[in-house]
Structure 1
Amino acid sequence: MQNPTPSVRVARLSIGVLAGAALIVGIVHNSPTFSAGAAVLSSGRAVQSQPATPWVGAWGTAVQRPVGGNEDSGVNWSQQGFADQSVRQVVRVSTGGTSVRIRLSNVYGTKPLRLSGATIGRSAGGAIVWPETFRKLTFGRSTSTVVPAGRELVSDAVPLTTSPLERLAVTLRFAEPTGPATFHRFALDKTYRAKGDRLSDVGSETFTESTNSWYYLSGVEVAGGGRPGRNTVVTLGDSLVDGVGATPGADSRFPDHLAERLAAARRPFGVVNAGIGSNKLLNDSACGGDKALARLQRDVLSRPGVRSMIVHLGANDLGAPQVDDPCVRPNPKVTAKQLIDGHRALIRAAHAHGVKAIGMTILPMKGALFPIWSEEAERARQTVNTWIRNSGEYDAVVDVAKVMSDPADPLKPRPGYVFMDGLHSNDAGNHAIAASIDLKAL
């Protein structure tokens, strides 16, 4: 993916990307429903009883329906899928351990996904893997598996000692045509493709094609790195979370910087990034995936050992009505009350699962180089932000609006912290957002 440029077309794309645990291995599952059984804490909040898990979400992404690329977002392979090819995806884990497993998603597949094999190993840069670190992944002790349409699959665990912030390469082999692929559009990292069975190839010569999206891979989980318990932090949101505006390949999203802070503090928490560019709280969209209220269970609460979620949502709900683009439809006007009610639903669901809910105020929107801002949307943003800051309904607050605001004009983003589109945070802004998070609140 090329980073957006301040052209009219990219302006439209930017609103499209704006503000946009199982312990049994080899298990196939749908997203579980909320359980009615709960204990009540002294605070009066219902918290579902959950067993301790040795697994931590060390890396993760939120998946979405196949959608084509263009000259601004770059090509992707989601619509055609794969046939007689190996796909190598390189990701940075936020925490380490002694065992590892992966999570695959065929949630948006139209037919069963047949996987002929999979490996994991240490990245040596680009598509290259250190040969002695390759591990074959199995699923119910088989090297091949089938993921039914609409389902997810967790691999068996394999021994592989990993360290916080190191990069791993996951290679998937598809001998048969997959059809359109469940994927994540804005990876800001390269995924590589090669013809035939290249599961154990070092990769310097065979993996010659690449895009900037992730395919089928939705999680990497580790065990053995710290105390058993609930040690996964999930960031849920739109393009502020997804990392639009960050330098590609540099791990400069604010969740990446948060993971670095946790590693430096020797806190064995994993950070999973469940942001989707253009995602909304209240409505689905073609490029932004399912609304956050619909994907909460799958992308957050079904991860292993979730202790807290950090939420940035609402900017696309407010901004999309000003941009009549197929990428962001449906784009009805929404009220501050509707957004607050949506946030309350997220909080209730998190608390019902014993998960802390940490709210982020909506970033400044005036000054973007595309028509996202209006006086009406600004009034709603201010109302929602006041509620997030002062209502006490979130367990903690990260005041992104304050961090990102220009001291000379608080309605606009701070110079030096904003990307060239006039809206999204750049690397410095992402660093500042992560630095403003109280680690004790996680």
Structure 2
Amino acid sequence: MRKTRNRPTRVAALAAVFLAATAVHTAAPASARAASGSARPHQVVTWAASADRAGTGVPDRAYRLVVHTSVAGSAARIRLSNAFGDRPLTLDSVYAGIRESGAALRPGSNRRLTFGGAAAVTVPAGHTVLSDPLPGPLPAATDLVVSLHSPDAAGPATGHGMALQTSYTTQGDHTAEEGADHWTATTGSWFYLDAVSVRTAAPRTGAVVALGDSITDGWHSSADLDRRWPDYLARRLRLAGTGVQGVANEGISGNKVLADGAGQSALHRLDRDVLSQPGVRTVFLFEGVNDLKAHTGVTAADLIAGYREVVARAHAAGLCVVGATVGPFKGWGEWDAAAESVRQEVNTFVRTGGAFDAVTDFDRILRSPYDPERILPALDGGDHLHPDDKGMQAMADAVDLTALDCAGGPHTTG
């Protein structure tokens, strides 16, 4: 992967433009809009995290949530989720700004979000809401900070448990503050926030959604450094300047394709986590190891049928689907010869079954040449299932970027 020594300077310059929009925001003249092409600007997801149950809501709690953008754009919209709540959720103050360091925001960047013009919003149980567009640009590769407060949260909270990103909490409404004085408690989860999208002027700009389990969620990658494989993929896409620029990470640790448990199954959450996201061009399906190692009688035919359903529903929505082979996990406590046999059969289908628009062979990238049922020690995070940072980067480097736009027809990479 190429080094980008000037990237922090460029991001800072773009962030300064974001700050300037705080003072004034003027619509581009018609001539400029026409020059950008005949297609109208459209929303593209720039960050996302799968919603799940996240403990119990705490009244008068405020969260300062740090997320990292992928595609650049303007008019950012924040999606808030009460998908797993059993009662309406009221958020009476929501702000968004650019992070300076820790819980502190860049001065002048923190701005109130509105919902239908109102400062407060009530999210019905089982639903999501979108904020109004926030005027001004939002750069790529930026730590966006969403601060939100609920006066009376209770019952099941909705969020994403394993963020691998430090965020901050406090009691009382300190969301408008840019300083860190009141934000002294930390959390490793995201609460009530499940997506951010931006408006892009380029008519062909799109996004890829990584639908997966703990490997996609980033387990055993370094926290606070954005070293999950979808993060590395976002960096490659940004450097390559391809039409697909947005990356949404919809991985849940322990998740399965077929059965609910650690989060709703991939089949049950496909509509909310993938198909509802704006600007999605491609679904990257890398999931299945939890189905076949759980010793619940799941056969290769069962898992293949699940894959086919994901593909059919994505195709019906006009999306491409890239399939990935299931990686090796010999040495993990649940590994046995029967599970390995199912994995091999499933991977043969992924490679040769013709169901996917493209295939990335993560198994070939991760496995040891001396024992193909094991992950290569140099890429092993230590538990013989999850790759470390080097493994995550190797996975991202194996993805043919043209495959994310289904260019050139079906093909295999990695």
Structure 2-normalised TM-score?
A: 0.86
Alpha-carbon distance in 2 for matches of 1:333, 1:310: 26
Structure 2 unaligned spans of 5+: 1-38, 405-414
Contact 2:232 2:392 survives alignment (8 Å): yes
Pair 1:356-2:320 in alignment: yes
Superposed, 1:221-236 pairs within 5 Å as: 221-224=197-200, 226-229=201-204, 231-236=206-211
Superposed, 1:12-31 pairs within 5 Å as: none
Alpha-carbon distance in 1 for matches of 2:88, 2:48: 22
2:274 aligns with 300
Q: Report the AA paired with residue 70 of structure 2.
A: S
What is the root-mean-square deviation in Å for CA atoms of aligned residues? 1.3
Contact 2:61 2:173 survives alignment (8 Å): yes
Contact 2:92 2:120 survives alignment (8 Å): yes
1:373 aligns with 335
Contact 1:230 1:306 survives alignment (8 Å): no
From 82, 88, 107, give the equivalent of 2:64: 88
2:371 aligns with 409
2:398 aligns with 436
Superposed, 1:4-403 pairs within 5 Å as: 54-66=42-54, 78-79=55-56, 81-224=57-200, 226-229=201-204, 231-267=206-242, 269-285=245-261, 288-321=262-295, 332-368=296-332, 371-403=333-365
Contact 1:231 1:270 survives alignment (8 Å): yes
Aligned-pair CA distance for 1:387: 0.5
Aligned-pair CA distance for 1:53: 6.2
Alpha-carbon distance in 2 for matches of 1:178, 1:54: 36
Alpha-carbon distance in 1 for matches of 2:307, 2:235: 28
Aligned-pair CA distance for 1:201: 1.4
Contact 1:139 1:155 survives alignment (8 Å): yes
3-state DSSP of counterpart to 1:143? coil
Contact 1:115 1:144 survives alignment (8 Å): yes
Alpha-carbon distance in 1 for matches of 2:291, 2:157: 27
Aligned-pair CA distance for 1:351: 0.5
Alpha-carbon distance in 2 for matches of 1:227, 1:281: 34
Alpha-carbon distance in 1 for matches of 2:72, 2:101: 19
Contact 2:110 2:178 survives alignment (8 Å): no
Alpha-carbon distance in 2 for matches of 1:132, 1:53: 27
Q: Report the AA paired with residue 429 of structure 1.
A: G
Aligned-pair CA distance for 1:367: 1.7
Alpha-carbon distance in 2 for matches of 1:228, 1:119: 29
Aligned-pair CA distance for 1:218: 0.3
Aligned-pair CA distance for 1:423: 1.4
Alpha-carbon distance in 1 for matches of 2:44, 2:134: 15
Structure 1 unaligned spans of 5+: 1-50, 67-77, 322-331
3-state DSSP of counterpart to 1:343? helix
Alpha-carbon distance in 2 for matches of 1:405, 1:169: 38
Q: Report the AA paired with residue 121 of structure 1.
A: G
Aligned-pair CA distance for 1:334: 0.3
Choose between structure 1 and 2: higher helix proportion: 2
Aligned-pair CA distance for 1:230: 5.8
Alpha-carbon distance in 1 for matches of 2:250, 2:137: 25
Deviation per CA, 1:77-116: give whole Å up to 9, x if none: x22x221122100000001112211001101001000010
> Are residues 97 and 230 of structure 1, via their aligned partners in 2, closer, same or farther at CA, if it must alter by over 3 Å?
closer
Deviation per CA, 1:165-188: give whole Å up to 9, x if none: 111100001122333211111100
Q: Report the AA paired with residue 310 of structure 1.
A: F
Find runs of 4+ consecutive structure 1 residues off by over 3 angstroms: none
Alpha-carbon distance in 1 for matches of 2:236, 2:273: 23
3-state DSSP of counterpart to 1:182? strand
Q: Report the AA paired with residue 279 of structure 1.
A: N
Task: Give the number of aligned pairs.
Answer: 365
> Are residues 290 and 360 of structure 1, via their aligned partners in 2, closer, same or farther at CA, if it must alter by over 3 Å?
same
Contact 1:52 1:230 survives alignment (8 Å): no
Contact 2:60 2:151 survives alignment (8 Å): yes
Q: Report the AA paired with residue 265 of structure 2.
A: K
> Are residues 307 and 230 of structure 1, via their aligned partners in 2, closer, same or farther at CA, if it must alter by over 3 Å?
farther
Q: Report the AA paired with residue 290 of structure 1.
A: Q
